[in-house]
Amino acid sequence: MNVRRLIPTTAVAGAVVLGLTALSACSTSDAADGGNGDKLKVTASFYPMQFLAERIGGEHVAVTSLTKPGVEPHDLELTPRQIGSISESDYVLYLKGIQPAVDDAILQSGVKNTVDAATLTTLEDHGSEVSGHDHGHEEEAHEDEGHEEHAEGDGHNHGEEGGADPHIWLDPVKYAEVAKGVGKSLEKADPDHAADYKKNTEALVGQLNKLNTAYETGLKNTATKTFITTHSAFGYLAERYGLTQQGIAGIDPEAEPSPARIQEIHTIAEKEKATTVFFETLASDRTAKTLAKDTGLKTGVLDPLEGITKKSQGADYIEVMESNLSALQKALGAK
């Protein structure tokens, strides 16, 4: 995470006061103004958390996402109204390490039912991709080692070497683990509807298990195992399905790659017979197109699913992940 994106805690604290003042006569969100009444007021930090809250909460929750469609989550700056709305929530679901402004605001909010998705599964360090030494995905042993479990404060090293990679939602297995934890926490927060939350969780986990099977089957036999991406968000996905992600610039999607790294990618592409440079829907494709032109590779979209827009290759998480699978199969030469 670039330092320039961090918002000082003192600034957030001041904004919390402003937000609470501005919200004294306001409801949690515009969506909640329409008489959501006894629904659980849920604030989600960005799309992957919103999807879980909506699918598991169903008709019993009114979900507000702090990150609007089309906004790059890493760049999010909260308005005083948004910061105040967090404090008025019954339940907050976020992923520590993705959005420092959100992390700080939640810390100040005093909301009782606050769930950090990073604590519901095991985070790992994929920081080696930043320097291009992508040995982490080639050594199966890493997958079962426990020394890289989530520790307090790990997530704030997002994008720095040695920090835990927060992109857990791009691995359907880890996302299912998070879904189970969210389901249990909603049952505790709203016991009257516990049975429905349990049922909705089981249905979603079933869908995610099916998605995992599709990826396992679809990526088992491929001409190459290496894919190149402008945003190193796919470390967990690569590790899960025996692939190697080569990030052009590391975990930060807008970091400029060094000339040395571009040359390294060129060499890797030739050696590993990589065919495609992937870019994402919410960030510029300039780096991908430049690299593709320099190396004679194709370009394609691999969506890190940080938000759904009209440009997204699907209407929700499941559909976009299916599109990602198709894109990977094509780029890797699936047989």
pLDDT of residue 43: 98
Distance CA 7, CA 5 (A): 6
pLDDT of residue 25: 36
Distance CA 227, CA 212 (A): 19
Residue 229 forms beta bridges with which residues? Answer: 247, 278
At position 74, the amino acid (one-letter code) is H
Distance CA 118, CA 107 (A): 15
pLDDT of residue 83: 95
pLDDT of residue 133: 33
pLDDT (tens, 9 = 90+) of the chain, 335 residues, equals: 433 333 333 444 444 443 433 333 333 333 333 346 689 999 999 999 999 999 999 999 999 999 999 888 988 999 999 999 999 999 999 999 999 999 999 999 999 999 999 999 999 987 544 333 333 333 333 333 333 333 333 333 333 334 799 999 999 999 999 999 999 999 999 999 999 999 999 999 999 999 999 999 999 999 999 999 988 899 999 999 999 999 886 666 566 777 888 888 889 999 999 999 898 877 777 878 877 887 788 999 999 999 999 999 999 999 999 999 999 999 999 99
**Residue whose token pair is 């402008």:** 230
CB-CB contact of 92 with 85 (8 Å): no
- Tell me the two tokens of residue 67: 């990150």
Distance CA 326, CA 168 (A): 20
At position 281, the amino acid (one-letter code) is T
Angle separating helix axes 47-57 and 172-189, nearest 10 degrees? 50
pLDDT of residue 251: 61
**Collapsed DSSP state (helix, strand, coil) of residue 65:** strand
